[in-house]
Structure 1
Amino acid sequence: MAVNKEDMSEAELDARHAEKMRKKKAARDKIMETKTIEKGLVIVHTGKGKGKSTAGFGMVFRTLGHGHRVGVVQFVKGRIETGERMALERFGDQVTIKRMGEGFTWETQDRQRDISAARQAWDAAKELILSGDHKLVLLDELNIVLRYDYLPLDEIVRFLRDEKPEDVHVIVTGRNAKEELIEIADLVTEMTQIKHPFRSGVKPQEGIEF
């Protein structure tokens, strides 16, 4: 017969909770025993919601906390003075930052200039990934570059799938991630927008948007 929790004493509730957590831990430990592979991941943060770059930089700071070196290539926000960049500069040579973009495409209004900037950024990204010096490399807003076909998608997919060193993590951020990129990725997260202050007339604010 089921026991009504309202009829149980605090001690009984505590004992019941402890037993439930013991079983949950045992099940979790059993699952973890099967997870034996260690590899560099391809990670994609996409979707219309806020937080894609923020999540990527969160992983960057986590990696730094473990004493590893990281690389960051900004494909679009090169002209924007961001809080992430200013914070990362305090880590000295533990971080390599490449601010390659010249702003959003509607700001430059020059397709050939955007294509050239994207190519330079991608060449810098490959160099960081292949250097052997970085545990993690963030390719911030690469998805935007791919959305506008400034770089050949098959080239990026082929490199990340076939040429990326096995022990290097690569994070790609930006809206509208291509299906081919999602297919080869190990971890994909889609940010869903539910509410955003921009729609209510609130301008981008320091520390929140940049």
Structure 2
Amino acid sequence: MTEPSQDATMSASPEDLARHAEKMAKKKAARDKIMATKTGEKGLIIVHTGKGKGKSSAAFGMIFRHIAHGRKCAVVQFIKGAMSTGERDLILRHFSDLCEFHTMGEGFTWETQDKARDMAMAKAAWEKAKELIRDPANTMVLLDEINIAIRYDYIELADVLTFLAEEKPAMTHVVLTGRNAKDELIELADLVTEMELIKHPFRSGIKAQIGVEF
């Protein structure tokens, strides 16, 4: 429900204002009661998937929140790497003491055209990811575009699922991005967001632009 405008509030009768205040007080009491039951904490497995834009951008938003709170975190990029990005440049320039950044891919698969090399890079990225997740100093690790590496069988889904279920420290958050997240990963995750594509400028002939895509 939208909040009433200032003009509407000024023209409301004292009775209307009293009813509104009472309604909001009841809503707050109900909300506070719900929030009082939410006392648990755990390291979350978070999946950003779907055909729409914003999967990595939203994940980097959480990385920057960690940095803002002075918490150590890390990023492993599984696919991207052929070009610089604003997020990587900013982190490496100003926040490398709080956030390790490892670009392990060499671009999208249609650009490298070397499946054996792509697989080797993806496996190396997964080994680095496991090392960073095991490190108790890191409270969040972002595995950017890992879903693509899993989709193309560059790394084994079963290995990822087993590691996250059995070896991830209890209070470490792990974020996995990329289209076509496997159903088994979605089932394991605590938080899953699917980005839906409604419109995209690429379809109108607009190229990827600085500050939006990278």
TM-score by length of 2: 0.92
Contact 1:74–1:121 (CA under 8 A) maintained in structure 2: yes
Task: Map residues 118-197 of structure 1 onto 2, 5 A cutoff.
Answer: 118-197=122-201
Corresponding residue for residue 3 of structure 2? none
Q: Deviation at 1:9? A: 2.3
User: Which of residues 61, 80, 86 in structure 2 aligns to 1:58?
Assistant: 61
Unaligned runs of at least 5 residues, structure 2? 1-7
Corresponding residue for residue 114 of structure 1? 118
Corresponding residue for residue 83 of structure 1? 86
- SS of the equivalent of 1:198 reads helix
- Counterpart residue type for residue 191 of structure 1: M
Contact 1:145–1:151 (CA under 8 A) maintained in structure 2: yes
Q: Distance in 2 between matches of 1:18 and 1:156?
A: 51
- SS of the equivalent of 2:96 reads helix
Q: Distance in 1 between matches of 2:14 and 2:64?
A: 42
Unaligned runs of at least 5 residues, structure 1? none
1:91-122 deviation per Cα after TM superposition (whole angstroms, max 9, x unaligned) = 13111000100100000111111100000000
Identity %: 61
Contact 1:128–1:137 (CA under 8 A) maintained in structure 2: yes
Contact 1:70–1:134 (CA under 8 A) maintained in structure 2: yes
Q: Distance in 2 between matches of 1:13 and 1:94?
A: 52
> Is 1:200 aligned with 2:204?
yes
1:157-204 deviation per Cα after TM superposition (whole angstroms, max 9, x unaligned) = 110111100010000000000001001000000000100100000000
Contact 1:143–1:173 (CA under 8 A) maintained in structure 2: yes
Corresponding residue for residue 16 of structure 1? 19
Corresponding residue for residue 46 of structure 1? 49
Contact 1:128–1:134 (CA under 8 A) maintained in structure 2: yes
Q: Deviation at 1:10? A: 4.8
1:56-81 deviation per Cα after TM superposition (whole angstroms, max 9, x unaligned) = 00111111111101100000112220
Corresponding residue for residue 93 of structure 1? 97
TM-score by length of 1: 0.94
Q: Distance in 1 between matches of 2:67 and 2:129?
A: 18
Q: Distance in 2 between matches of 1:19 and 1:182?
A: 41
Contact 1:79–1:99 (CA under 8 A) maintained in structure 2: no
- Counterpart residue type for residue 103 of structure 2: R
Q: Distance in 1 between matches of 2:13 and 2:114?
A: 69
Q: Number of matched residues? A: 205
Q: Deviation at 1:15? A: 2.8
Q: Structure 1 residues 13 and 198, CA, compared in 2 at 3 Å: closer, same or farther?
A: farther
